[in-house]
Structure 1
Amino acid sequence: MPRIVSSKRTTAVVTAVGAVMAITCAVAPAAQADSPISDAVAIANGGVALVRGATLLHSNDFGEYGCEDFVDAAYGKTTANGIPHDAALAFYNGLAAAGQGHTTLPAPPGALVFSQSEDGGHVDISIGNGDYESGGVQGFAPGYGDATDNQILPSANLGSWTFVGWAYAPWSAV
């Protein structure tokens, strides 16, 4: 079981995530009769994942497959029923092929945000304000990953990485 890391920064992130979710709920338009309930479930589950992810920040719990394992843990999944190792881009491509991919930012809170470089694919969780909870960023870009693998990133396009797209997580949080 991942350890809970408590710090002023983690407390601030959890508070910020809660505020973003509250504001999102307060300003979101009323649901239309033809809106799929799955959209509401995806947004709610993204909030759960953001809070779980915030408890994992500033740790090195996931090793070389940090991004997929971080996202899986935040959503209560494993590589068997979440995003497999080295499969972030394939996972996004599957969602995009099913009409669930989006190629413009901003990504809403809890959305999975995918990027790529010559080293492969990467996945983060959008906080909804242009920042991203991210795992596996050791050496990701100068200044990022220097102390811990799991941290807040200010962009989906750090270093040589290029934004590919975003999608709501297709599974519900446990």
Structure 2
Amino acid sequence: MTTPTQSGIVPPFTRETAAKMVRKAEDGWNSRDPQRVSMVYTLDSKWRNRAEFVTGREQIVEFLTRKWRKELDYRLIKELWAFDNDRIAVRFAYEWHDDSGNWFRSYGNENWEFNAEGIMHHRYACINDLPIKESERLYHWPLGRRPDDHAGLSELGL
């Protein structure tokens, strides 16, 4: 994943640049590569993810490594909710299963804040997990980036 500065996306955001930033974030997380994902956060980035607090890239990599060891076949869709100057609000849903084959759809909201270079320095995530049957899954693309023609959250009724 290119860093936001390499892509030229920096605050203040417009609707178009905010939406591009959201898609870049979705693509990165769908790579399930903790090192790659960590590069779009400042060295001292601060997160709240559910009830866990993470500071800095090293802890981000550790957190994501644990996350994707537990959340198997992870597929994520993010959607722009709102933006203003150096902040973006996102809603998202992802599907995954545990090592016992139990499927979940996790719903959440994130609030992001960026520095002047377009690197995220704060991320706050609230997430709820809904057990689903495998037959209720809506995300069926091959692991990795969501295809451009795949429906987003609104189109899926999520």
Give the TM-score, by structure 1 length: 0.28
More helix by share: 1
Give the TM-score, by structure 2 length: 0.30
More strand by share: 2
